[in-house]
C-alpha cells in the first residue's frame, strides 16, 4: 500500500521539478521598456555607455570594445570613441510588429556603423531582451546560422 502512495507522490514531485525549470527563450523586458518607447529612448540617450558583453558567432569579442565609449544622441546619431578616434553611426529603437517567440517583447534596437570593422560588427537589428536605467541587453540572429549573437551595453 505504501508503494502505491509513494510512486504517485514521487511522480508528482518530478513533474513539479520539470515544470519549474522550463522558461521562455528571452527574459521578459523590464516593465519600463515593455510598451513605452519614449521612456526607452530617454534611458538610452542619457549618459555614456560601454560594451560589457559581446558574443558574436559563438566567439566572445567583448575585449575588442575595451576603451570604446558610446553615446546614443539626438536625431538617432550614435557616436563611439576610443583614445585615438571618434566614429559616427545611427541607432533607433522601434516597436516591431513582426512575429517572434515572445510577443510581449517586440522592441527592436537597430545599430549601424559604416567603419571601422570593429564597430561594423555591432551593425544589426537587435531584439531588446532587457533594459534598465543602467543596462541594455540585446540579441540577434540576423544572418547568423551559427547561433544567436548577444550584446550588452552598461552605463559608465
Contact of 149 with 139, CB cutoff 8 Å: yes
List the beta bridge partners of residue 114.
Answer: none
Q: What is the pLDDT of residue 25?
A: 47
Q: What is the pLDDT of residue 31?
A: 47
Q: What is the pLDDT of residue 38?
A: 81
Report residue 19: phi and psi, to 5°. -65, -35
> pTM of the predicted model, to two decimals?
0.74
Task: Report the 10 Å Cβ neighbour count for 86.
Answer: 10
Q: What is the pLDDT of residue 119?
A: 97
Rounded Cα distance between 82 and 78, Å, is 14
Rounded Cα distance between 133 and 156, Å, is 11
Listed as ranges, residues in the chain with pLDDT below 50 are 18-31, 33, 101
CATH node for 37-98+105-155: 2.40.128.270
Q: What is the pLDDT of residue 21?
A: 45
Q: What is the pLDDT of residue 5?
A: 55
Contact of 51 with 68, CB cutoff 8 Å: yes
Rounded Cα distance between 30 and 48, Å, is 21
Contact of 121 with 113, CB cutoff 8 Å: no
Report residue 80: phi and psi, to 5°. -135, 140
Q: What is the pLDDT of residue 131?
A: 86
Q: Where are the domains of the chain?
A: 37-98+105-155
Amino acid at each position: 500500500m505504501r508503494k502505491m502512495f509513494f510512486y504517485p507522490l514521487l511522480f508528482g514531485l518530478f513533474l513539479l521539478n520539470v515544470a519549474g525549470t522550463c522558461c521562455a527563450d528571452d527574459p521578459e523586458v523590464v516593465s519600463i521598456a515593455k510598451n513605452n518607447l519614449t521612456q526607452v529612448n530617454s534611458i538610452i540617450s542619457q549618459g555614456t555607455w560601454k560594451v560589457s558583453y559581446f558574443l558574436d558567432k559563438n566567439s566572445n569579442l567583448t575585449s575588442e570594445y575595451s576603451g570604446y565609449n558610446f553615446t546614443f544622441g539626438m536625431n538617432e546619431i550614435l557616436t563611439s570613441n576610443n583614445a585615438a578616434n571618434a566614429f559616427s553611426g545611427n541607432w533607433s529603437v522601434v516597436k516591431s510588429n513582426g512575429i517572434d517567440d515572445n510577443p510581449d517583447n517586440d522592441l527592436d534596437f537597430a545599430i549601424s556603423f559604416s567603419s571601422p570593422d570593429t564597430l561594423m560588427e555591432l551593425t544589426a537589428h537587435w531584439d531588446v531582451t532587457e533594459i534598465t536605467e543602467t543596462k541594455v541587453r540585446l540579441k540577434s540572429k540576423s544572418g547568423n546560422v551559427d547561433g544567436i549573437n548577444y550584446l550588452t551595453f552598461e552605463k559608465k
